[in-house]
Structure 1
Amino acid sequence: MTRREARRYGADLVTAVSPGPRLTRGTHVGYAMGSIGTAAFGTVPGLLLLYYLTDVLGVAAGIAGLVVFLPKAWDVVLNPWIGSRSDRTQSRWGPRRPWMLAGGLTLPLLFVLVFAGPGAPPGLAAVWVAVTFLLAATAYGCFQVPYVAQPAEITDDPGERSTLMSWRVAALALGILLAGAGAPAVVDAFGDGRSGYLAMAVFVAVLLALGMLGAVAGTRRAPTLTRVRSEGRLGATLRLAWASRPFRVLLVGFVVQALGIGVMLAGVPYYSRQVLGDEAAGTLLFGALVGPAILVMPLWLRVSRRLGKRTGLLAASALFVAGAALLVVVPSGGTAVALPLVVLVGLGYAGMQMFPLSMLPDVIAADEGSSGERRAGVFTGVWTAAETLGLAIGPGLLGLLLAVAGYVSSTGDVVVAQSDPAVLAVRLGFSVLPALFVLASLPVLARYRLEPADQETIRA
């Protein structure tokens, strides 16, 4: 960007800085802790909120799907704005950590409030959840957007970024396992009604606070390497970010995959009860989905170094498709058959999380090197908004599918016998539909590549 263009967009140019030292192990671990918080908020609402609305509060499935979807849709507007503002933030804490602190302090309380509202009538309960979930999504955006932007600007070394991402994804897998398996277990321990879900919310709030505030403290000594500070009008920088072909291709493929993941996560409790006939099997399914991620991460990291990140992402996605598609033939009550297939899905899911997260900083660094502009916040604002929207649309689609199939909502401990079409909708929503979304992402992601000049920029 020229100085004339900078003045036009209200940008403020500063002098480049030289690359900083390698990150310490404390910074690796400290940064990774934030993913425990993002995993908790990214997983639990998609896993339990739709079911809480339909089978605890008695909200109709179609309305419940909208309640889950609309607050997340707000992130499409909010997150790019947060990214742009954090790009321009100046403080002794750096541009990102003040925003991260604000989100880390407010989100835990707001998350508890989502499950602390009235239980009746269903309309009032739905409004309470929608409003508090909207506020929680806003607080989450304040943390998530600058958090995702950090790796592109705290180190110029792509190898260092890969190491940072490997720590982050390992923590992400741990967070998903703790929140995804722990949350349903807490609900079961305290009863399946509102009291159980409130206890679960307190448990998740602790994870949120530990992870997010831990990342704020853990990155306090991380450098901020900035070539140019050049963020002006949000609309102009959004267009410039979208003009990056590697970013555009990676984003579209990632969002399509998020749709499939969102549908599958929301389907876990329904599949456990209606197909496997055991509500407690949801904890086993979720453990089988995310547990392998911790063990398989070194394998995916080796694939990344030997075959490349794009090849690794395509291979991981293919494993997910195969495992998810086969789940449709699991017989009623067939938990023992379902678990190995969910483990296969989990192996693919681990790679589908790791590779895009390690590719995004490369794209941002390449853009910064070629343009001379710092717009990591805008890139990650668009990225997190699209990801959140995809994960929110997933449960909404499942709610719509259940509504069309005639799924009957219930309250408290009331057990409703569902029709055959409703059970079929549950089965398809947990297997075929996620597989089709991820399958559709493969031709898009196959087009991803950084041009040689861009890769030289990253290594520079």
Structure 2
Amino acid sequence: MVTATTVALPRGVRAGYGAGSVATGAFGTVPGLMLLPYLTDELGVAALLAGVIVFAPKAWDVVLNPVAGRISDRSSDPRGPRRPFLLRAGLALAAGFALLFAAPPMPLAAETTWVLLCFLTCATAYAFFQVPYVAMPAEITGSYDERTRLMTWRVATLAFTIMLAGATAPLIRDAVGGRDGYRVMGLVMALLIAAGAVGAYRGTRSAPVGTIEPGPGSLRDQLRVIAGARDFRLLLATFVVQALATGCMLAGVDYLATNVLDSKAASTTLFVCFVGPALLLTGSWSALGARIGKRRGYLGASLVLAVGAALAVLARSAPSGVVFAAVALVGVGYAGCQVFPLAMLPDAAAVDARRTGTSRIGVYTGVWTAGETLGLALGPGLFAVVLALGGYRSSAGGDVAQPDSALTAITLGFSLLPALLVLISLVWLVRYSLDASEVDAS
């Protein structure tokens, strides 16, 4: 079984681990924000087909992530069993991302294929970065509260990266203009991803991680055992449905700014409103969780997020300031909805390790990231379906007047649909039961 310390981690290890969220935040944010508009408004791909292209590589990740977890569970290296994956897969992800928006002039079918293949390459590399990365907290510390503090660093870094990448990506695209704008933006984001991967690799070199004794049996056997872990199932279902809601909102930002708020610059403002509160309040959510428990904190954060998303339905009639305030409220809830589940995941894995005497943390995180990937991938796909139902008109690099039905579809897909999804996710969360006494006993 994994040897994990229960003492407080050095600040450098917390910061080093958090650096990995630079890579995950950039890759998790920019394609969700920019890829669907790139396909529909720059290449001229129909909305439904664009949704399939965005979804398909992430669907591949759903299959690949548990396999990546199994491979990382069985790895060994003097630098630490998970750390080499951070460097190798992180740099491969950066290279693939640099190519994603860099298709040379070709017929539309060839350009579409280029995007699909590059995104598939990125998704594959991301699986082998994200799964070992998420697995590390259960091996770095055995403390219920220390995992929350570790996640606070990770989520704070994630929030900063979302703001940096989400705000600057549209600015870079618009400053350069056209296809070249997308190419330059892709290269800058690739450098950011590479910096995060290298930072996480170097920053965790002194982390107190022991050896791994992987669980017995085949991958199918281990997946069957994990499927029987009640609290993990409930937590996963909650997180996947909320990832679906987040994916819808990310996909809708550019459309809402350009077509409903009638301002491309509003994309950056929306992102600042979304992430700014998360930067300020991540530590506050962590402190609240220490007082009332992670589950209750997660419930509260989810309700705040749902209320903020629902208020955004006023986008077509209210002043822009009201919309920005609603999105800021979403950001307040989003911070907690990242801190708590990511701190609860290693708790569930640690309890399993205590009960069985073996570690399945890689497979646990593989299933977890597969679910997260599925939710974030289905989000843009679901938003694309909403666009198609509303009669959204695609274009090849030009501005096209949208019908009133398309504007309504954009607004609903950004607001009431995500709010409803978050509320549905609470059906599973209220039944989650692990607490500090049971986890610390592991």
Place the TM-score, normalised by the shorter chain, in its bin: over 0.9
Check whether the contact 2:256–2:410 (CA below 8 A) recurs between aligned residues: yes
CA distance in 2, matches of 1:278, 1:424: 17
Check whether the contact 2:293–2:435 (CA below 8 A) recurs between aligned residues: no
List per-residue Cα deviations over 1:132-184 (Å, max 9, x = no partner).
00000111111100000000011112222222111111111111111111111
TM-score by length of 1: 0.93
Letter in 2 for 1:52: Y
**Which ranges of structure 2 fall in alignment gaps of 5 or more residues?**
none
CA distance in 2, matches of 1:234, 1:138: 19
CA distance in 2, matches of 1:331, 1:459: 52
**Which ranges of structure 1 fall in alignment gaps of 5 or more residues?**
1-13
Check whether the contact 1:108–1:205 (CA below 8 A) recurs between aligned residues: yes
CA distance in 1, matches of 2:169, 2:328: 19
Select which of 347, 357, 365 maps to 1:372. Answer: 357
Q: What does residue 348 of structure 1 align with?
A: 333
Select which of 47, 64, 72 maps to 1:78. Answer: 64
Check whether the contact 1:369–1:457 (CA below 8 A) recurs between aligned residues: no
Q: What does residue 97 of structure 1 align with?
A: 83
Q: What does residue 6 of structure 1 align with?
A: none
The answer as to 2:408 corresponding to 1:424 is: yes
Q: Which runs of 4+ in 1 moved over 6 A?
A: none
Task: Select between 88-97 and 218-227 the one with higher mean Cα deviation.
Answer: 218-227
CA distance in 2, matches of 1:249, 1:441: 9
SS in 2 for 1:330: helix
After TM superposition, give the deviation of residue 204 of structure 1 in Å: 0.7
SS in 1 for 2:43: coil
Q: What does residue 263 of structure 1 align with?
A: 248
Check whether the contact 2:3–2:209 (CA below 8 A) recurs between aligned residues: no
Check whether the contact 1:237–1:378 (CA below 8 A) recurs between aligned residues: yes
CA distance in 1, matches of 2:34, 2:381: 13
Check whether the contact 2:301–2:336 (CA below 8 A) recurs between aligned residues: yes
Select which of 381, 388, 396 maps to 2:381. Answer: 396
Q: What does residue 209 of structure 1 align with?
A: 194
Q: What does residue 337 of structure 1 align with?
A: 322
CA distance in 2, matches of 1:244, 1:234: 16
Letter in 2 for 1:80: P
After TM superposition, give the deviation of residue 20 of structure 1 in Å: 6.9
The answer as to 2:24 corresponding to 1:38 is: yes
Q: What does residue 148 of structure 2 align with?
A: 162
The answer as to 2:124 corresponding to 1:128 is: no
CA distance in 2, matches of 1:409, 1:303: 45
CA distance in 2, matches of 1:269, 1:322: 21
Q: What does residue 300 of structure 1 align with?
A: 285
Q: What does residue 5 of structure 1 align with?
A: none
SS in 2 for 1:320: helix
CA-atom RMSD, angstroms?
A: 1.6
Select which of 439, 446, 460 maps to 2:423. Answer: 439
Check whether the contact 1:58–1:411 (CA below 8 A) recurs between aligned residues: yes
The answer as to 2:129 corresponding to 1:143 is: yes
Select which of 227, 241, 260 maps to 1:275. Answer: 260
Letter in 2 for 1:421: S
Check whether the contact 2:5–2:208 (CA below 8 A) recurs between aligned residues: no
Check whether the contact 1:249–1:447 (CA below 8 A) recurs between aligned residues: yes
After TM superposition, give the deviation of residue 119 of structure 1 in Å: 4.7
User: Identity rate of aligned residues, in percent?
Assistant: 53
Against the structure 1 CA distance between its residues 92 and 21, is the aligned structure 2 distance closer, same or farther, given a 3 Å change threshold? Answer: farther
Letter in 1 for 2:405: P
Against the structure 1 CA distance between its residues 451 and 151, is the aligned structure 2 distance closer, same or farther, given a 3 Å change threshold? Answer: closer
List per-residue Cα deviations over 1:371-407 (Å, max 9, x = no partner).
1111100000000011011000000011111112211
Q: What does residue 307 of structure 2 align with?
A: 322
After TM superposition, give the deviation of residue 232 of structure 1 in Å: 3.7
Select which of 221, 226, 251 maps to 2:206. Answer: 221
SS in 1 for 2:78: coil
After TM superposition, give the deviation of residue 123 of structure 1 in Å: 2.1
Against the structure 1 CA distance between its residues 231 and 94, is the aligned structure 2 distance closer, same or farther, given a 3 Å change threshold? Answer: farther
List per-residue Cα deviations over 1:193-247 (Å, max 9, x = no partner).
1111111111111110111111011111112235743354111111111111110
Letter in 2 for 1:307: I
Q: What does residue 15 of structure 2 align with?
A: 29
CA distance in 1, matches of 2:62, 2:328: 32
List per-residue Cα deviations over 1:320-373 (Å, max 9, x = no partner).
111111111233583222111111111011111111011111111111111111
After TM superposition, give the deviation of residue 253 of structure 1 in Å: 0.6
Q: What does residue 184 of structure 1 align with?
A: 170
Check whether the contact 2:231–2:432 (CA below 8 A) recurs between aligned residues: yes
Check whether the contact 1:405–1:422 (CA below 8 A) recurs between aligned residues: yes
SS in 2 for 1:150: helix
Q: What does residue 239 of structure 1 align with?
A: 224
Check whether the contact 1:157–1:459 (CA below 8 A) recurs between aligned residues: no
List per-residue Cα deviations over 1:407-443 (Å, max 9, x = no partner).
111122x110111111111111111111111111112
Select which of 197, 206, 223 maps to 2:182. Answer: 197
Against the structure 1 CA distance between its residues 304 and 419, is the aligned structure 2 distance closer, same or farther, given a 3 Å change threshold? Answer: same
CA distance in 2, matches of 1:351, 1:89: 33
Check whether the contact 2:163–2:276 (CA below 8 A) recurs between aligned residues: yes
Select which of 282, 286, 296 maps to 2:271. Answer: 286
SS in 1 for 2:399: coil
List per-residue Cα deviations over 1:76-100 (Å, max 9, x = no partner).
1111000001000011122211222
Check whether the contact 2:20–2:196 (CA below 8 A) recurs between aligned residues: yes
Check whether the contact 2:19–2:200 (CA below 8 A) recurs between aligned residues: yes
CA distance in 1, matches of 2:35, 2:205: 34
After TM superposition, give the deviation of residue 457 of structure 1 in Å: 4.6
TM-score by length of 2: 0.97
